[in-house]
Structure 1
Amino acid sequence: MPKAKRMTKQKQTILEILRSTTCHPTADWIYEQARKKLPDISLGTVYRNLNVLRDEGEIMELNYGSTFSRFDGNPRNHYHFVCESCGQVYDVDYPVQNQLEKVIEEKTGARVQYHRLEFYGICSACLENKDGQPS
């Protein structure tokens, strides 16, 4: 019999925080928000619960090779834009191109389960603030 997923108060709070924002926050930001509702929560508890939520498919972890990950309350596959100037990460409203998976399977002979795609560049706010000159 499969083990039932237990929804603790801490896990529920973290999930609510992630689902209420589109900023793709770090664990530290989530921790600061969670402390407003649960003052005794520890950073370790936040990290453990983020890992559990990711493993259960409730959230998405975005790791860009930096020293910290960002988290997304939307677990469905979708694309992201990463600003190389300010570090902002946001969703790109564009349909996932599932046909890419079939193309790669045909080219490699491998079985693709899913793909992730991020676009990198300078966001419109940074372009406006710097007269079109990326930093």
Structure 2
Amino acid sequence: MTEHAATRNTIQRTLVLDAVRSLRSHPTSADVYDVVSRKHPGISRATVYRNLGVLAARGDVLRVEVPGGADRYDFRNDVHYHARCRVCGAVVDVEVPEVQQLSGCAQVPDGFIVEGHQVMFNGVCAKCAQGSNA
């Protein structure tokens, strides 16, 4: 793929970005595919997944790596953290004051360049705690 092809906006890329924004719930790639394919049945799963990768690489969406689960995508690409419910798997945004300074505080080996970080809080969401599924 040429650099130009990776950075230009395509109809498919716009559809994928719109789907991530419409779901607003940290969707998986399968969730995004379901939304896009309902409106455009001819689009392939590979096209949706490839475009999610391009959007994440460009910084248009945030790829949230979920240990032991499917990666999620977030339309918010500012610095913030996430929490994952161990019961239902829901992923939600977590606001942490002074988070901008965390990368600068990290003590890393000489020569290592910190380019970013992710933190995932684990626990039980309020809905699952109320349902005593915990």
TM-score range, shorter chain: 0.7 to 0.9
SS at match of 1:40: coil
RMSD over aligned CA atoms reads: 2.1
* Ranges in structure 1 where 5+ consecutive residues have no aligned partner: none
SS in 1 for 2:99: coil
Alignment of 1:63-102 (within 5 A): 63-66=65-68, 68-95=70-97, 97-102=99-104
Unaligned runs of 5+ in 2: none
Q: Tell me the TM-score normalised to structure 1 length.
A: 0.84
Aligned length: 130
Cα distance in structure 1, aligned partners of 2:42 and 2:98: 40
2:18 to 10, 16, 37: 16
TM-score of the superposed pair, with normalisation by structure 2 = 0.84
Shift of 1:108: 4.8
Aligned residues: percent identity? 34
- 1:90 counterpart SS class: strand
Q: Is the 8 A contact 1:83 1:89 kept in 2?
A: yes
Name the amino acid aligned to 2:114: V
Report the CA distance shift for 1:64/1:54 in structure 2 as closer, same or farther (over 3 A). same
Residue 111 of structure 1: how far off its partner (Å): 3.9
Match of 2:28 in 1: 26
